[in-house]
Amino acid sequence: MNPAPNLILVGPMGAGKTSIGKRVAERFGLLFVDADHVIVERAGASIPTLFEHVGEAGFREREKAALKDLLAGHGQLLSTGGGAVLDADNRALMRRRGYVVYLRVGVEAQLRRLGRCTNRPLLQRPDREDVLREMAVLREPLYHEVADLTLDTDGLTPPEATARLTQLLVHRWQPIEENA
């Protein structure tokens, strides 16, 4: 049993962090927080707009600040953006402040799940599959580095993945309460 104040989901876009995260948060009585939504709310602009005006580096700065603020809390399930693991400080903070679950998904499943979505700036290119493969090569070792647990979501519906993850977490993670 590995106690931690928060449950954190990492993984690439299309892995199910939001859809699975909401269900798991409900099962464990946690507050569900989507880091990307917090960044958008704080900036008053969409992620594509942020990428257009401040670039990926500016977005990553906002992401780092949001994660620092969010992970100061407890009793929440935090769904991170796919690139949150790129920053070493973010990875260290996640390890310190949460039980980290890597939701793994293959590129073929990502392509199916993401369809032709237009709100993911890094995929607004004709070579989407190549982009996803390049990101996987760079990010997969980082997901593994930070993860306490890995769940492969390929071939699983969100309810199936939720059931499997819930079963695993019952035996491996215990939320700890912190004094405010």
83 is in an annotated binding site: no
Determine the Cα angle at 6 with ends 4 and 10, to 5°.
110
List all residues 6 or more positions away from 134 whose beta carbon is below 8 Å from its beta carbon. none
In this structure, how many other beta carbons lie within 10 angstroms of the beta carbon of residue 86?
17
Residues above pLDDT 90, as percent of the chain: 71
- The whole-angstrom separation of Cα 37 and Cα 131 is 23
60-89 per-position pLDDT tens digit: 999 999 999 999 999 999 999 999 999 999
166 is in an annotated binding site: no
| Domains of the chain from N-terminus onward | 2-169 (3.40.50.300)
31-34 and 76-79 beta bridge pairing: parallel
95-146 per-position pLDDT tens digit: 999 999 999 999 888 778 676 665 655 556 667 788 889 989 999 999 999 9
157 is in an annotated binding site: no
21 is in an annotated binding site: no
139 is in an annotated binding site: yes
14 is in an annotated binding site: yes
73 is in an annotated binding site: no
